[in-house]
Amino acid sequence: MIDFKDEVKKIITSFDTGLSEEEIIGLIEIPPNSSMGDYAFPVFKLAKTYRKAPNMIAEELAAKDFDNDYIKKIINVGPYVNFFVDNSKLVESVLTEAIKDDFGSSHIGEGKNVVLDFSSTNIAKPFHIGHLRSTVIGNSIRNIMKYQGYNTTGVNYIGDYGTQFGMMISAYLKWGDKEKIDQNPIKELLNLYVKYNKIAKEDEDYMNEARDWFDKLEKKDPKAVELWSWFREISLKEFQRVYDLLGIKFDSFNGESFHSQFIGEALKAIDEKNLLEESEGAMVINLEDENLPLVLIKKSNGSSTYIARDIATAMYRKKTYDFDKNVYVVASQQKLHFEQLRAILKKMGFDWWNDCVHVSFGMISMKDGAMKTREGKVIFLEDVLNRAIDKTKSIIEERNPNLENKEEVAKQIGVGAVIFQDLFNNRIKDYVFDWDQVLNFEGETGPYTQYTYARSCSILDKGQFELRKENKFDLLNDDTEIDIVKHLDKFSETLLNATEKYEPSLLTRYTVELAKLFNKFYANCQINNVEDELKYQRLYLTYCVNKCIKLSLNLLGIEAPTRM
């Protein structure tokens, strides 16, 4: 596909501005309005060299002769030199590429390995709405990186170790009812956890007992291991229902307990660098020179800490996967933890410490307030997804009661709506989950985008569209058609930015905009009721949009129903 931005760079380079090609590329912008051109070059940086006012420099450059088959004209708009591409060449270039299976992929990940750590639910605790963000953001990043050519490994670093499991074991032995837990595992285990935690706040003996049981678990006490294994098994079974609803699979469920076997190796490596210091019977690492707080590595009773397990995990992943990037999709509250982890790995002499990336995100809340697991105030993610599906069923019954496969379509739309709303928001921002917005079939939502895809499927079916071997696009010159082509031209750059910034919202917003442009085209132009050649070219354009929306939704982890 022709890189029109590169063609603009070539022209500016020929103007002998004294800037390097890299500087020129970095300065080229997209004008806020297409009537001002397709690309714009600000000349402020040339004011000292030319010793003139920026608007005069822009006027002078725009008047220069240029020789380029892909740029139609150049004008100046104030202190900017604006470039208009040759639309006929743009349309031919973009639409020829848009039907290819790897459309938009820059293949930057070829031969590179990426480990993506996301979701990371906690055994014996609810898979609640708060886990949605890590789960769907991580899955989308994995999909995008895989499409870019990376070898990806999706890891669900299950929280299945630590003092809370001593708490769970102690609580079960005091008040547990196996029959009730088997009937409703997570809710019953949560009740035990909440009850124990409430008492432990007032009674230190309960907390000490929890610590003792975790110490026994680390030392492979048969009773502790038996109960822990049961909690883990029934929890994973419950979690799997949610992952099935979301359509998400993992390559590994190795969590804290699995990696604890490598703590000894990690501690040895730390000790060899003389990083450990004793403090009140515990072992710590001083990170004062990194402007970070002291880190507890080993407790006074000999138990390991969370960060010690993370150090062991990072070492295991490098050895096992030889990663180019080790990505942790974890909430922004853990920023300090990952700063400390990276600083310790750096002090240990690992040159790959900087390849460990914390992809943080803001919090999600419901309109009725925040969630507090320790107090039992949680909203189960499975309940949210099922409610979205049920609400979608009601809408389908009202609008299209004769739709085939209503159950399946309701699931695709309902679950897709929840995922889409989450991924529409910049990941670092907090947001409030809003039912009224989630299932809206108008505006910037999942159902609106899915509906646009279904509409394009219907148009293609009605027009009995079949690709030709040879294609012409000379009749596609309506403004709405050109706007779609220009947006398709941005797909590769959007994917690249989403990859490099670990930011799915860039793709989500791109897809909404493509849907809007297509619906504008649909309202403005006849497609199936025009003469044959124009019909074919407009169906071809529809087909390109159809493929791009489906691909984008799939990369976001959302299914695209062909009928709605």
Q: How far is CA 15 from the centre of its chain?
A: 41
Cα separation, 425 vs 358, whole angstroms: 18
pTM for the model stands at 0.91
Report the b/e string of 119-133 with b at 16+ CB within 10 A.
bbbbbbbbbbbbbbb
In a shared domain, residues 58 and 169 = no
DSSP code at position 112: -
Beta carbons of 292 and 336 less than 8 angstroms apart: yes
Cα separation, 74 vs 46, whole angstroms: 18
What 3-state DSSP class applies to 117? strand
Give the domain extent around 348.
Answer: 118-366
pLDDT at residue number 377:
60
Domain boundary among 85, 104, 129: 85
Residue 58's alpha-carbon distances to 18, 24, 356, 384, in angstroms, are 15, 14, 44, 55
What is the sign, positive or negative, of the torsion defined by CA atoms of 180, 182, 184, 190? positive
In a shared domain, residues 399 and 312 = no
Q: Which residues pair with 278 in a beta bridge?
A: 283
pLDDT at residue number 286:
95
What are the start-end ranges of the H helices in 283-326?
306-321
pLDDT at residue number 418:
94
Cα separation, 21 vs 28, whole angstroms: 11
What 3-state DSSP class applies to 493? helix
Domain boundary among 303, 337, 366: 366
Nearest to residue 482, comparing CAs of 70, 83, 40, 92?
Answer: 92
Domain boundary among 85, 109, 128: 85
In a shared domain, residues 393 and 338 = no
In a shared domain, residues 360 and 389 = no
Q: Please report where in the chains the tokens 């009202």 appear, as a residue.
A: 398
Residue 257, in any domain of the structure: yes
Q: Could you tell me the CATH number of the domain that includes residue 62? A: 3.30.1360.70
In a shared domain, residues 149 and 80 = no
In a shared domain, residues 468 and 499 = yes
Structure-block tokens of residue 528: 């199936």
pLDDT at residue number 33:
85
- Amino acid identity at 266: A
In a shared domain, residues 144 and 246 = yes
> Cα angle at 269 between 265 and 275, to 5 degrees?
135
In a shared domain, residues 495 and 437 = yes
In a shared domain, residues 140 and 282 = yes
In a shared domain, residues 361 and 386 = no
In a shared domain, residues 141 and 79 = no
Into how many domains does the chain fold? 3
Residue 96, in any domain of the structure: no
Residue 371, in any domain of the structure: no
pLDDT at residue number 392:
93
pLDDT in tens, the chain (564 residues): 889 999 999 999 999 888 999 999 999 999 988 889 999 999 999 988 888 899 999 999 999 999 999 999 999 999 999 999 999 999 999 999 999 999 999 999 999 999 999 999 988 888 888 899 999 999 999 999 999 999 999 999 998 887 888 999 999 999 999 999 988 898 899 899 889 989 998 999 999 999 999 889 888 999 999 999 999 999 999 899 999 999 999 999 999 889 989 999 999 999 999 999 999 889 999 999 999 999 999 888 777 788 999 999 999 999 999 999 999 999 999 999 999 999 999 999 999 999 999 999 998 887 655 555 445 467 889 988 999 999 999 999 999 999 999 999 999 999 999 999 999 989 999 888 877 777 777 778 999 999 999 999 999 999 999 999 999 999 999 999 999 999 999 999 999 999 999 999 999 999 999 999 999 999 999 999 999 999 999 999 999 999 999 999 999 999 999 998
Residue 560, in any domain of the structure: no
Cα separation, 16 vs 194, whole angstroms: 71
pLDDT at residue number 373:
47
